[in-house]
Structure 1
Amino acid sequence: MDNNILILSEGMQTSIQDLGRKGYRAYGVPIAGAMDKYSAILANKLLNNDEKLPVMEMTYTGPKILFEDATLLVITGADMSPKINDKPIKMNVLYEVKTSDVLSFGKLKSGARTYLGVKGGFLTEKKLDSYSFYEGITSQSRVNKGDRLRIENYEAGMELYSSKIKVKRSHFEAKKLEVTKGPEFHRLTKKHREYLFSKQFKIGSLNDRMGCQLKNKFPPIKDQEIITSSTIPGTVQLTPSGKLIIMMRDCPTTGGYPRILQLTDMAINQLAQKKENDMFKFDLESSFDFLGRLVFRFKD
């Protein structure tokens, strides 16, 4: 017999995401996956799940969810004032919910994106080795009111323990986002580079899973045109009008604007927790730190 949750109201941009759809970019398929991988992985770690299992991602406002079956849950990422049966619950703490319990959310206190993890993950549609919702790949791109989503079977009381963790506020309030040089960085003059690393940049209204446009206007550069080239999440493109666009998890696989910077994966996670008018600076990663990340990534 299936275990389910019922979506009573969907909130904003609510979707199911895992760590992304890898190995299909050659076919024009975006990576997708959780915007803030740090918070998504944290949810699964607290539940003693595999970190690759799908979680529910919410943006700015959360859904209202009826649990038709018992499970163990945790809320990570942005604090949207979560409640179970109208009683406030804590972030990053495990809770056991019973049949007919209702999870809801209130005022957004910090960050932008919240993650709901359940024991064993969400058993939604899997396409191209990933559960991540993406229009044109999965049958739906958003969680909607009335949806009934399958979850893993859970035996009440079986694995309830007091796991909890305190997440640093710096993850949601980062004033500097670490970057490396992009393929067209060499086209920038000394003046451009000084501007790039001395100015504070402001998040614009165009800020979603595909990309984030900054409000600042960047000084024009010569040789704006490039042959359409590869882009990945975190690529910073400079448009002919002087706008900087940062590619996010659902970004296309190619683009035609100079790629002047590349955000580190942690910087993408931090940017995913920022809202319109939030400000930050670009911080150029040292060669030592870059090599350190490579060693960490490829070690056993």
Structure 2
Amino acid sequence: MIKVLKPGFYSSIQDFGRFNCQQYGVPYSGVMDRYSAGLANVILGNAPDLAVIEMTVLGLTLQFECNTFICITGADISPKINNENIQQNKPVEINKGDVLSFGRLKKGVRGYLAVLGGILSEEVLGSRSMYKGVTEQSVLLKNDYIKIDVNNLFSIKKNSLIKVKIDNFKGNVLEVFKGPEFDLLTPEQQSVLMSSKYTISKNNSRMAYQFEESFENNLEPIITSPVLPGTVQLTPSGQLIVLMRDCQTTGGYPRVLQLKESSINCLSQKFTGDKMQFKMLEY
């Protein structure tokens, strides 16, 4: 078991999300940055989609009540074991009683903690991902206990450091495909949409990221239609909204673009004020 001493800010348990439930209005949920979360699991020898702890900006403090191995990836929040700095992107051995804590945020927004064998929290509708209204909790709380696999302990080579893709942290280009309503825009609007730079507003969360700049919009609302993570909606006021992992399952705003999976990962590691630009891909 792992005890939560300090929960940090919006720390939650997430895997790759819920599938085949959207017809009931249940969001996909899951880790915001699948690349980083999957990497943490793979380094430990886990399946990439096992549940991990997702941290946002501020790390949490945990005490381990058993021996295990962990791996931390994604945002660099200065991880420490018993106040000693540890490396990210490699296996770290944990002994019973060890305390994991975090310090200053150095890069990124969301960090991931994987545990050997995965986190064994309650599974609801085929996923361990926390989401308000689906699971009992939407975030981790002080004094929570997290169940992990203690029967899967074996030696791991700890001397290999994985080279991590840095696009999630340094890239400012979001690769996209045409959305269902893209061709309803005029050629001039399409050109402006693809050539402009957009600033991430303070309104960003696991549900959606909004941009500060407005975009000329004369499109009529559409009949409520399916949306999914990565869908870029154009509101009547001309605001662009990028739906993220906890987004609703349907919407009535024109869907002008659809982010590539890797671009969802990238956007999830960006701060308020960061500037992004779209790049069109061919199907």
Measured against the shorter chain, the TM-score band is over 0.9
Alignment partner, residue 233 of structure 1? 229
Aligned counterpart in structure 1 of residue 15 of structure 2, from 18, 24, 33 = 18
Is 2:174 the counterpart of 1:177? Answer: yes
Aligned CA distance change for structure 1 residues 183 and 155 (closer, same or farther; 3 Å): closer
Deviation for aligned residue 1:160: 2.3
* CA distance in structure 1 between the aligned counterparts of 2:71 and 2:229, rounded to whole angstroms: 27
Once the two structures are TM-superposed, the CA of residue 207 in structure 1 deviates from its matched residue by: 0.6
How far, CA to CA, are the matches of 2:44 and 2:221 in structure 1? 48
Q: What CA deviation, in whole Å up to 9, does each residue of 1:45-78 have, x standing for no partner?
A: 0000111210000111110011111110000001
Unaligned runs of 5+ in 1: 291-300
Aligned counterpart, 1:256: 252
2:78 aligned residue (78, 81, 85): 81
1:224 is displaced (CA, Å) by 2.3
Distance in 1 (CA, whole Å) between partners of 2:152 and 2:260 is: 40
Residue 44 (structure 1) aligned with residue 44 (structure 2): no
* Alignment equivalent of 1:198, drawn from 195, 200, 219: 195
Provide structure 2 residue ranges, at least 5 long, that are not aligned to the other structure.
none
Compute the displacement of 1:171 (Å).
Answer: 2.1
**2-structure distance, mates of 1:94, 1:37:** 19
Alignment partner for residue 29 of structure 1, among 22, 26, 30? 26
Q: Quote the residue 1:167 is aligned against.
A: 164
| Native 8 Å contact 1:80 1:110 kept in 2 | yes
Task: Name 1:297's counterpart in structure 2.
Answer: none
Q: Which residue of 1 aligns with 2:275?
A: 279
Contact 1:119 1:154 in 2 (8 A): no
- Does 2:238 correspond to 1:242? yes
Secondary structure of the corresponding residue to residue 251 of structure 1: coil
Candidates 114, 123, 126, aligned match of 1:126: 123
Map of 1:151 onto structure 2: 148
Deviations 1:105-124 (A, max 9, x none): 11111111000000001110
Equivalences, count: 282
Of the three residues 92, 103, 107, the one matched with 1:110 is 107
SS of 2:194's partner is helix
1:70, 1:154 within 8 Å by CA — same for their partners in 2? Answer: no
State the 1:280 CA deviation: 1.1
Superposed CA deviations along residues 64-96 of structure 1, whole A, max 9, x for unmatched, are 011111110000001111111111111101111
User: For residues 155 and 265 of structure 1, what CA distance do their matches in structure 2 show?
Assistant: 31
**Partner deviation per Cα, 1:234-279 (whole Å, 9 max, x = no partner):** 0000111111100000000001101000001111010111110111
Which stretches of structure 1, 4 residues or more, deviate above 6 A after TM superposition? Answer: none
Given that 1:70 and 1:155 are in contact with CA atoms closer than 8 Å, whether structure 2 keeps it comes out as no
User: SS where residue 76 of structure 1 aligns?
Assistant: strand
Inter-partner Cα distance in structure 1 for 2:275 and 2:54: 23
Secondary structure of residue in 1 paired with 2:130: coil
Retained in 1: the 8 A contact 2:179–2:255?
A: yes
Whole-angstrom distance in 2 between the partners of 1:125 and 1:155: 19
Query: Alpha-carbon deviation of 1:194?
Result: 1.3
Matched position secondary structure for 1:151: coil
In the alignment, the residues of structure 2 paired with residue 235 and residue 10 of structure 1 have an alpha-carbon distance, to the nearest angstrom, of 31
Pick aligned residue for 1:5 from 2, 5, 14: 2
Report the TM-score when normalising by structure 2.
0.97
Structure 1 partner of 2:138: 141
Structure 1 equivalent of residue 69 of structure 2 = 72
Q: CA separation in 2, counterparts of 1:130 and 1:155?
A: 21
Contact 2:17 2:129 in 1 (8 A): yes
Q: CA deviation at 1:169?
A: 2.1
- What is the letter of the counterpart of residue 136 of structure 2? S
**Separation (CA, whole Å) in 2 of partners of 1:170 and 1:149:** 32
Give the aligned residue type for 1:229: S
